Amino acid sequence: MRKYYLFFKLRFAAGIQYRMAAVTALTTQMVWGLMECLAYKAIAESSGNMPMDYSAVVSYIWLKEALLALFNTWAADNDIFGMILNGDISYELCRPLSVYSMWFSRTAGGRISEALLRCIPVLACAFLMPYPYKMGLPVSAGAFLLFLLTAVLGLGVTIAFCMLVYILCFFTISPQGWRMALTGAVDFLSGNIIPLPFFPDKYLRIAQLLPFAYMQNIPFRIYCGDLAAAAIPSAIAGQVFWFAALTLAGLLLWKKAEKRVVVQGG
């Protein structure tokens, strides 16, 4: 009996490690979300007219925290960077598969599984918050369906962009620094730091010309009813366009990168 107990203890101890990581992640995201809600509350109280309703901002913030794993551009798949740096990429090239599609699907799988695991506790807490900080339900059933559709498209745009970041690593020796610079800028332009409606008009128009406004910005704003119904078709068209354009760019760049790979043996 004792050895089974020890097995149980071993597995339980390992499980607790992950539980602590989950508690840490949940605490971090709840603190972040709540602090942002409180800051926007102060802004809403100090200024008469906010570009978004306060309740919409609250839902936007909680969605952002819950689906962080889906849409952030800074937490790219480190295994892929590792492969490029340590040369394991040569094994990937040996496989009779398209490297682009392979990396695309593994990134998508990683992001979706992590998001599913993370979003449930965050959303549960967000729905249980006291009144002004409570996450709202989608404005209508149609809005929820459109939210799901645009979330998938937005994820496509996000991953297509991350693919470009991976492939650009073939052209530089020290990817860390500029990756930080690039993803920092994207973080801002995709509405992860402040929602895009808070941008001054002039800059909002520039931001909307870039692919980054078609990542999390569209689904989140459809969910909270901030995006006018008339603007939704063009937003979806924009997502499709940027998804196609970034994928094409990625494939072309990959063709170039593939030719540059020199396997040094080993």
Partner 1 sequence: MGIIMRIWKSIILYLRYASICVRSAMQYKLSFLLMIIGRFIIAFNEFIAIKFLFSGFEEIKGYSYGDVLLCFSIVQMSFTLSELFGNGFKVFSGMIKRGDFDRILLRPCSPILQIIGNHFEIGRTGPMITAVITLVIGIRTCSVSWNAAAFFTLALMIAGGALLFIGLFMLGAGLCFFSIEDTSIINVLTYGAKSHGKYPIDVYGRGILRFCTYIIPYTLFQYYPLQYLLGRTTQWRLAFYPLGIVVFLALCYAVWRIGVHNYKSCGA
Closest CA to 84 of 176, 181, 167, 180: 167
Choice between 98 and 176, CB closer to partner 1 = 176
Q: Work out how close the CB of 102 gets to partner 1 at its nearest, in angstroms, rounded to a whole number.
A: 28
Span interacting with partner 1, options 49-57, 208-216, 221-229, 242-250, rule CB under 8 A: 49-57
Contacts of 242 (CB under 8 A, 6+ apart): 157, 160, 211, 214
User: Can residue 194 be called a binding residue for partner 1 (CB under 8 A)?
Assistant: yes
Answer for which of 11, 176, 231, 256 binds partner 1 (CB under 8 A) is 176
Closest CA to 248 of 179, 160, 156: 160
Segments in the chain forming alpha helices (H): 2-46, 54-66, 68-71, 78-86, 89-94, 99-127, 141-168, 175-189, 201-209, 217-223, 232-260
Q: Work out how close the CB of 34 gets to partner 1 at its nearest, in angstroms, rounded to a whole number.
A: 9
Q: Give whole-number Cα distances, 139 to 4, 179, 197, 233, in Å.
A: 52, 37, 18, 17
Contacts of 180 (CB under 8 A, 6+ apart): 74
Site string for partner 1, 19-48 (x = CB under 8 A): -xx-xx--xx--xx--xx-xx-xxx-xxx-
Cβ atoms of 161 and 74 within 8 Å: the answer is no
Q: Work out how close the CB of 122 gets to partner 1 at its nearest, in angstroms, rounded to a whole number.
A: 14
Q: Work out how close the CB of 98 gets to partner 1 at its nearest, in angstroms, rounded to a whole number.
A: 31
Cβ atoms of 89 and 47 within 8 Å: the answer is no
The DSSP symbol for 227 reads S
Q: Work out how close the CB of 171 gets to partner 1 at its nearest, in angstroms, rounded to a whole number.
A: 13
User: Can residue 82 be called a binding residue for partner 1 (CB under 8 A)?
Assistant: no
Site for partner 1 in 197-236 (CB under 8 A): 198-200, 203
**Residue at token pair 């990817």:** 175
Choice between 27 and 113, CB closer to partner 1 = 27
User: Can residue 14 be called a binding residue for partner 1 (CB under 8 A)?
Assistant: no
The dihedral built from the CA positions of residue 37, 41, 44 and 47, taken in this order, carries a sign that is negative
Total residues in contact with partner 1, by rule CB under 8 A: 41
Q: Work out how close the CB of 176 gets to partner 1 at its nearest, in angstroms, rounded to a whole number.
A: 7
- Interaction site with partner 1 (CB under 8 A): 16-17, 20-21, 23-24, 27-28, 31-32, 35-36, 38-39, 41-43, 45-47, 49-51, 173-174, 176-181, 184-185, 187-188, 193-194, 198-200, 203
